[in-house]
Structure 1
Amino acid sequence: MGSLILAALLVAAAPEAPAAPAAPVAPVVEGPAASASPSSTSTATSTPKATATAPAPAPATANPNPTPSANPNPAATATSTSHPTAGGRGRGHKSAARAERKAAEEPLFELSAPQRPPIAEPPTLPPALTGSALRDELRASAHKRQEDLAALARERARLEKLTADLAAARAALREETARLDERVKKAAAEKAAGAARPSGPPRPGAPAEAEGQALAKTLRSMKPDQAAALLARLDRPLAVGLLRRMRPGDSAAVLEKMKPELAAELFSNLAGGTK
C-alpha cells in the first residue's frame, strides 16, 4: 500500500508531455481524481520509466505550479480546438464557390479565333418631317426667293435709271455745245458782213449788244473747262468781249482752265481796254 502511494506521488510530481493538438480525444466521464479505479492507478504506476525519460521543459517556460495547469476536462479541450478548423474549412468552401461563380459570369475569349474590330454604328438620322412642317418649309423658301428676286429687280431698275440719266445729260451737253457752235458761227458771219460794209461798221470783233449778252449768259451756264475750250477757238476780240460781259468770278474760273499763254493774252487785252 505504501508503494502505491509513493508511485502516485512520483507521477503527480513529474512534468506532463505536451499533447498533440490535432489528435482527437475521446470524451471521458468527469469525476474527481481521487475516485480513479485501482486499475487506472496501476496503469499510471506502470509508466514511471517513460515519464522519467521525457525531456524536461526549459527553465524559462517551466510552470512553477504544474498541478493547476492540468486540464481536468480533456474532452472540452478537444472540442474547443476542433471548432476553428471546421469554421476555416467553411470559409474556404464559400470563397471557392464565389470564385467559381465569378469565373462563370466573366465572358470567355477564344485565343485562337481572330478578334473582329467593333462595327461603327450608323449615324442617327433626324426624324422625318411631317406634311405640315414640309409645307411650311417650302412656303418659307418660296417667300425668301421672291424677296431676293424683288431686291434684284429694284437694284436693276435703279441702275437702269442711272444709265438713262447719264445718257440724257450727255445728250443735253451735246445739244448745248452744238447750239453754241451755231451762235459762234453766226457771230463770225455777221462780223465778216459788217467788215465788208463801207460806212459805219460796228466795232471789229464786237457782236451786237443783245447777242453778246446772250452769248455771255450761255458761257456762264457752261462748266469752266468747256467755256475755256470754246473761247480758245474764237477770235481774240470776240473772246475778250464775251469775258467783259461775264462776272469777274466766272471769267477768272474760265481763264484758270486755259493755257497760261492764252490766258495771259486775253487778260492783257481785258486790262488794256482792247475792243
Structure 2
Amino acid sequence: MKIGVVHFGWASAGTAQIVRTLIEGLSKEENTVYGIECNKTTKDIELKELSDKDLSKFGSHRYELSIFPQEVWKEKASTHANSLANLDKIILLGQVETDLKQLPAKTLQVPISIFNNIDGSQLTLGYDTAFNAIVKNIESVRDTASSLSYGKVRTFNVQIPGAGPSKLLEHTALAVEAVVVKDAKEETIVNLKQHIREKEANKEGYTFFIMDQTVNPEQLSEHFKEFDLDWKVVEIDDSQCGGPFPTALDRLLANQLKKAVVDWTLSDQPSGQLLIQDNQALFEEINSISEVVK
C-alpha cells in the first residue's frame, strides 16, 4: 500500500511525530509512505519516499515535511487526480479546503492548526503551543513596560499570525487583558481613542492592542497623532508560535492523533476527518464524497 502525507503548516514537531509513527507502524507491513511536496519552481506536486532506514540516522526531524502552500493546492486541484493517482490513501495534516471527489484515494484530514478553527473539534494540534508562546512573549514585554515610566502611555501593538477572526486572537487578548483591533474603521478608532483617554486619566503607563496581519500597526498610528504616545510595534511571527518544544497538552494530542492516523491507515474505513473531543481523537466519516472539507 502507498500512503501520501501532505503538510499544510503549523505544529512542525507534532507533524514530524505523526509521520515518524506512520513510517514505523507501516514499514513492517511492506507499505510505503510518501511526502507530498510542492516543487518551488514549477509548483507541481512531487512525491518523496520516506524510509524507515533513515530513522536512526536523522531522528524525528527528518520527517518535518516541507509546508505545501495552500493557495497552490487549491490552484492545482484539477490536477490532483493525475499527480496522486498511484496512492492508495492520502493524509492531510492541517486545514485546507479540498473537494474529496478530486482526490483519487481515500483521504483523512488531521486537525492541525494554531488557530483552533476546525468545526467540530474542541482543539487542534499546535494551538496550545502557539497560544502559550504568544502570551509568554507579551508578558515579557509587560515586565519591561511596568518597570519603566515614560510619563506617557506606551502603546504596544502586538501583531500575531492570522488573517481574520480566530480563537487565537480572541483568547490571547483575554489572557493578557488587551484590546482586539480587527480593523481601522471609524468606530474602531473612536473606541481605541476612548481607551487611551481612560489610560491617561488613570495615569496608567502602558496598554496592549492585539491584531492579526490584516491590520497595519504603522498605518493605524496615523489616527492617534493628537495623543502624546510612545507607539511600539511587536511582531510575533509563525516561527515563534511553534518550534521543537510543544506544550504538554499538544504532546498529548500528538500522541492521540498519531495512533488514530495509523489505525485509520491500516483499516478499511472510508474518507473522513479526525476530531479532538475531551482530549481524545475521534473519527468522523465524510458522508458525501463531493463534500468540501474545510
Q: TM-score range by the shorter chain?
A: under 0.3
Q: Which one has the largest radius of gyration?
A: 1
RCO higher in 1 or 2 (8 Å CA, sep ≥ 6)? 2
Give the alignment's TM-score, normalised by structure 2: 0.22
